Amino acid sequence: MEVKVTSTTILTSPLSQPSEVPLTIFDRFALNIHVAVLYAFTPPTSANADIISALSKILVHFPTLTANFSTNSHGRPCLTVGGPDGGALVVEATVSSKLEDHLPLTPSPDFRLLHPGVNDAKHLLQVQLNRFQCGGLVIGITNHHRVADGQSMSSFFLAWGKMVRGVPIDPLPVYDQSWLKPRDPPLVQFNHWGTDFIPLSPQPNEFKATPVYADPSEITNMLFHYSPEFIMRLKAHTNKLSTEKYTTFETLAGYIWRKVTIARQLDDEESTMLSVPVNGRRRLQPPLPPEFFGNLVLDVYPKAKARALIEGGVVKAAGIVRKAVRAIGNDYFRSFIDLAEVYKDKNLVPCYETDGNVLSPNMEVDSWLGFGLDEIDFGGGGKLCGISLTWVPFEGLSIFIPSLSQDGGLDVLVSLLEKDAARFREISHSLD
């Protein structure tokens, strides 16, 4: 793939005077990385100038995307909006090949050419408009995860598309952090040490994590399509063996977890843990509006022994996922918020920062379903034809993505070591 950059622009912050926005405990818990995602559109599409003009206008409603990280007068982490080092990076580029030659979008190291570099990125939001020979467009966007979670960025992208098309932005994003105030007095009801954060002063042998690393060339990203018919059969198979009625996410998360465990050929008694992000907007009481912009996600950790998980079938795996996901509610989120108040002057380090780039025997399953990504429209008459991460150099990650194929269904990204990926391909659609 030959990509030629034709222009680079910095869109300055919409705020004329610097303003500080505190990082919440959920922001500080989020991954300390840029997330890079590609959105592909068939021709005809809106002109670059119209897309960039709309971005400049929509950032008025999403000012934290133009901020930079800093610390306030109390030495606590915050975002500074309107500072001299802020703004959003916009790159225009041309691609010598046709878009259809790269569809369906399956993560590839080559796709890193379609967005600005994420290592030591100066700007928290980076956009690259890639024009293909056929007139197709791929928008490569990277954003720092500690500014916004998946739901927030989906809202941003949908709003940006509306601005291009001249459609009113309603509802607007919400930044009110008063919902996240600690209780008085704060009450830490749960043990967040060793699961969410590394203990501040661990006892000998209390918390030991040995990160495992692999050469990125040994890691394979695969994309699998699961049709509505397959999902229906899978859920029917699962529900037939249980009195519970599992959701699509619970069923498919358990299914993928079990299949990955089989492909890895773990020892029977080896423990395997699934990390599942849970959105707190509706779990907090009173609930927060979906338009809350920032981070509001915590992880839950279903666990099982490899043999029990495999022999129990998908119904057991789905049941373990269901129990963990449904156990976390308002009390847990409030306890997490109060933890930040109790230890506000301490450096809280998320446990995942001790991980290498190999999660085995554990894995993570994220869902982009329900965000409305398949409704993104940048005008011009073209259609959204691809959604994908560019490349995942981490083993053990799986992401559920809404499918844009004619039959609907959903796509599942699975990242594994190549030796395990070969076995996973063989069993990826087996109900056994």
Task: Return the active site residues.
Answer: 145, 377
Whole-angstrom CA distances from 93 to 128, 217, 371, 390, 426 are: 7, 27, 28, 16, 38
CA 302, chain centre distance (Å)? 19
Residue 55 to residue 156: CA distance in whole angstroms: 10
Lookup: tokens for 107: 């993560």
Distance spanning both ends of the chain, measured CA to CA = 40
Taking a C-beta distance cutoff of 8 angstroms, is the pair 160, 55 a contact? yes
Residue 181 to residue 177: CA distance in whole angstroms: 7
Whole-angstrom CA distances from 140 to 76, 125, 306, 389 are: 32, 11, 38, 9
Q: Is 363 helix (H, G, I), strand (E, B) or coil?
A: strand
Residue 39 to residue 358: CA distance in whole angstroms: 27
Helical segments of 96-223, H only: 150-165
Whole-angstrom CA distances from 109 to 65, 95, 247, 322, 389 are: 26, 16, 34, 34, 10
CA 198, chain centre distance (Å)? 22
